[in-house]
């Protein structure tokens, strides 16, 4: 992503932390980023375009964090526990991530339509932002499928070691979805530090999947 675009998104995110999105002004975002207002409009087209790009960036960052969490450990259960803990912490620290995962946007946040909007932008990143944005159900499927892809491969990088049993894909998919939905349930009533991972470990002890 070009430096100017990233700086503008950083400025918009910082402005959103201080005031409601309705009070965020494009001219102020451009000034904080150190670029002209015309550059801002060239990149995003409108304030709605800026909102969509900001939501898309935070969604991508959250999913990248899921990927990192799933690669943190060699034990499959610990990988899922780490992904669940990341989900809870990301939602706690980032209001946009929390809104995307729960569907509860609130009055302070932008609330772009999740369906694609007509785009005439010449900027590839903006054309992507103008496409469909993920709903809570989309996130469930995206995280579940990421986990299944990683954990269904036996040997190094997958569950067990060389020659390990390959889990049944349907059962594994249900288990991964269960873990993510358990993490989401903790967003409204968060447990103490490390509590999400502990809940996941306990739940996985009862699951039929052989990791």
Between CA 69 and CA 122 the distance in angstroms is 34
pLDDT at res. 205: 85
Q: What is the pTM of this model?
A: 0.89
Token couple for 112: 């772009």
The whole domain housing 201 covers 60-119+134-205
What is the domain count for the chain?
1
pLDDT at res. 208: 65
pLDDT at res. 161: 47
Interacting residues of 195 by C-beta distance below 8 A, sequence separation 6+: 186
* Residue 85: inside a domain: yes
* Residue 156: inside a domain: yes
pLDDT at res. 165: 56
* Residue 189: inside a domain: yes
Low-confidence ranges of the chain (pLDDT < 70): 1, 154-167, 208-211
* Residue 5: inside a domain: no
pLDDT at res. 156: 46
Report helix angle 3-18 to 26-33, nearest 10: 120
* Residue 18: inside a domain: no
* Residue 69: inside a domain: yes
* Residue 88: inside a domain: yes
* Residue 71: inside a domain: yes
């Amino acid at each position: 992503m070009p430096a100017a675009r990233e700086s503008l998104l950083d400025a918009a995110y910082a402005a959103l932390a201080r005031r409601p999105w309705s009070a965020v002004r494009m001219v102020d975002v451009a000034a904080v980023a150190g670029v002209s207002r015309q550059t801002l409009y060239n990149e995003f087209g409108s304030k709605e375009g800026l909102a969509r790009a900001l939501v898309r960036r935070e969604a991508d960052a959250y999913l990248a964090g899921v990927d990192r969490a799933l690669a943190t450990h060699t034990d499959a259960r610990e990988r899922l526990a780490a992904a669940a803990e990341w989900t809870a912490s990301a939602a706690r620290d980032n209001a946009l991530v929390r809104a995307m995962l729960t569907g509860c946007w609130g009055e302070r946040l932008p609330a772009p339509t999740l369906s694609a909007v007509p785009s005439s932008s010449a900027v590839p990143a903006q054309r992507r932002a103008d496409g469909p944005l993920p709903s809570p159900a989309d996130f469930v499927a995206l995280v579940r499928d990421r986990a299944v892809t990683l954990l269904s491969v036996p040997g190094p990088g997958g569950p067990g070691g060389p020659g390990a049993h390959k889990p049944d894909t349907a059962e594994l998919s249900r288990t991964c979805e269960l873990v993510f939905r358990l993490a989401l349930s903790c967003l409204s009533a968060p447990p103490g530090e490390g509590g999400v991972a502990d809940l996941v470990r306990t739940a996985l002890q009862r699951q039929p999947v052989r990791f």
